[in-house]
Structure 1
Amino acid sequence: MLENTPSRTAEVVALIRALENTYYGETSLLKDRYAARFLSDFYMAIFNRLSILPEFTSFFVNAASLGLFDFITLRHAFMDNYVRRFAHKVPVALLGAGYDSRALRLADDIKHGVWEFDFPATQRRKKFYLRNERITGEAPHYIEADFMKESLTEIFERSGMQKTATLVLWEGVSMYVSEAVVRDTLTACRDYFGAGTLVVFDYWHSKMTDPVKNLAVQVMPFIMDIVYNERFTYGATPQEMRAVAMECGAKKFESLNGQQIMKKLTLTSRLPLASASLAVVEF
């Protein structure tokens, strides 16, 4: 990520959520009517051109993105379900929140507050776009943080979050850091929030058994670097990620690919990419 520049991939994710809501309407997984508010003129122009096309266009958008469109919406919906299940009992922390809208969409489910942590440039831009938004219930706590310059424990302490079981969502971040940062993040959540804490995050697969898919996995980091200046730097197989989580003190670990997420959501109409998964770590 370029310093002092809002995240471009966070905006792409907002674009995908906005298109998913437009294409599917009442059957949308996310029903995210806020996502389009975070789009710059460039991405708003793309949204305006694609959103006027019929629902079946989503198939071609997904094919053009090699399944990323569907994986991002499935990932987001899966994490939404965790908010609905646990946010009435524990606080919610969003690490690298980007242009997340859960504090608005799921306000009725959040009973113990939501803390959004992100780089200053992205978070300030988000707050600017929401400056006139009327928020029902408790407003989110915005915490500016540079995760590369400050330890996560220091960031948590500065945020004023209590040391209690917490639902931590870490979305679209792990592939841009190192294995050491992944370990430090899991360990910091374990040590600061304690027993009962859940960390839900997605991760990129570093290699795959299928040679064609494996080639795509090897090329993708370079594509991300060229297009967004945000290159993938870390990936792991499900077995490797399980080992990392267990070594960090996890009591339970679950990894789900796109097809498995669809089963959890009782859904069969999406075609997500196969080179990423979601991890659920319980301490």
Structure 2
Amino acid sequence: MIEEQASRTAVLVCQGRAVGDGRVGVGRFSDPVAAQLLQGEERQAVERARSGSAPRQWRERMHYEMLNATSAVLVTRTVVIDEAVRSAGNPQLVVLGAGLDARAWRMSELSGAVVFEVDHPASQQDKRQRVDSLEPVCKSLTYVPVDFGRDELGPALAAAGHDQASPTTWIWEGVLPYLTHAEAEATLLAVAERSAEGSRLIATYPMPNRLAALGRRGMQVYSRLTGAKDPLENERHVSAWSPEQMRSLLAAHGLTVTSNVDLFATSRDLSIPARQSRFYGLGYAVVADKLGG
């Protein structure tokens, strides 16, 4: 992400959750806060997508379809992550690349947890303006500004009050595609060093796909046709992993994979109308725990 520019992807992710609230994955997914974090046209686009009535005008129709497709992906992975957070029940939660994540405002299970949101300073400034007077439901919330390509995560968390001796749940949602393997390794090193026994990492990641560049090109074409901003213009996907590579990567940092979830299969189990194509997939959500010796 370009320095001093807030993430457009974060807005799209928030819109996807807002579109799905009360409509998709009912009983397993809920995010009534997402819409409150959106502004102006961002929220109006969500309202059109939620209407269930596809616009006749083709540009609006394309945006309508894109937001509903995004919602299916976001709801699926949110269900998997939220349930892994609940089952861990750790006293600390760190959200890496938090964007417009609303868990600190919507998950009552975090009432006794200390939450740390880590993100690029520009995105964090935008987030803080959007949450405005909303009150978190967690025990406490601390913002930790970090540029993952330049700053050291460990010292930043330590300075923010993260307790290295207490079990932590880490959420790494939708971030890995934007990191080089070296940057991912650096982040994992800090996570491992600050993970007490009982800690858990939940991460989403894409599979290698030789046709992914065509899907990326499709997003560029869509943006030109609709006159919308390309959410990935300054946030390029630079890496992907196979489940075997991810398992080895986490094992090298003392984390044992306890679940590796195919998100497309999960969407079908949840009766969520997610789409799978040759150009892109929903990817995987991996849960890895710091087990005792």
Alignment deviations for residues 70-108 of structure 1 (CA, whole Å, 9 cap, x no partner): 222111111111222223x33111001111111111134
Q: Look up the match of 2:274.
A: 271
- CA distance in structure 1 between the partners assigned to 2:125 and 2:78 by the alignment: 22
Partner AA of 2:188 in structure 1? L
Alignment deviations for residues 152-197 of structure 1 (CA, whole Å, 9 cap, x no partner): 1122212110012210001110000011122222221111223222
Q: Look up the match of 2:57.
A: none
Q: Is the 8 A contact 2:19 2:71 kept in 1?
A: no
Higher helix proportion (structure 1 or 2): 1
Q: Look up the match of 1:183.
A: 185
- CA distance in structure 1 between the partners assigned to 2:180 and 2:193 by the alignment: 20
Is 1:282 aligned to 2:289, yes or no? Answer: yes
- Report the secondary structure of 1:261's partner residue: helix
Q: Is the 8 A contact 1:29 1:73 kept in 2?
A: no
- CA distance in structure 1 between the partners assigned to 2:21 and 2:253 by the alignment: 37
Q: Look up the match of 2:250.
A: 245
Question: How big is the shift at 1:11?
Answer: 0.4
The alignment of Structure 1 onto Structure 2 pairs a total of residues equal to 268
Question: How big is the shift at 1:115?
Answer: 0.8
- Report the secondary structure of 1:48's partner residue: helix
- CA distance in structure 1 between the partners assigned to 2:64 and 2:204 by the alignment: 19
Q: Is the 8 A contact 2:49 2:64 kept in 1?
A: no
Partner AA of 2:266 in structure 1? I
- CA distance in structure 2 between the partners assigned to 1:200 and 1:114 by the alignment: 15
Task: Give 1:84-103 correspondences, 5 Å limit.
Answer: 84-87=86-89, 89-103=90-104
Bigger mean CA deviation after superposition, 1-10 or 107-116: 107-116
Alignment deviations for residues 211-244 of structure 1 (CA, whole Å, 9 cap, x no partner): xxx42x2323455678232110111111222222
Partner AA of 1:179 in structure 2? H
2:82 to 80, 83, 93: 80
1:199 to 198, 201, 224: 201
- Report the secondary structure of 1:47's partner residue: helix
Task: Give 1:205-216 correspondences, 5 Å limit.
Answer: 205-207=207-209, 214-215=210-211
Structure 2: stretches of 5+ with no match in the other structure: 55-61, 224-229
Is 1:17 aligned to 2:17, yes or no? Answer: yes
Identity %: 22
Q: Look up the match of 2:107.
A: 106
Task: Give 1:118-129 correspondences, 5 Å limit.
Answer: 118-129=119-130
Question: How big is the shift at 1:19?
Answer: 0.5
Q: Is the 8 A contact 1:93 1:115 kept in 2?
A: yes
Partner AA of 1:41 in structure 2? G
- CA distance in structure 2 between the partners assigned to 1:93 and 1:115 by the alignment: 5
Residues 136 and 168 of structure 1, relative CA distance in 2, 3 Å threshold = closer
Please provide the CA RMSD for this pair: 2.7
- CA distance in structure 2 between the partners assigned to 1:235 and 1:43 by the alignment: 29
Residues 64 and 125 of structure 1, relative CA distance in 2, 3 Å threshold = closer
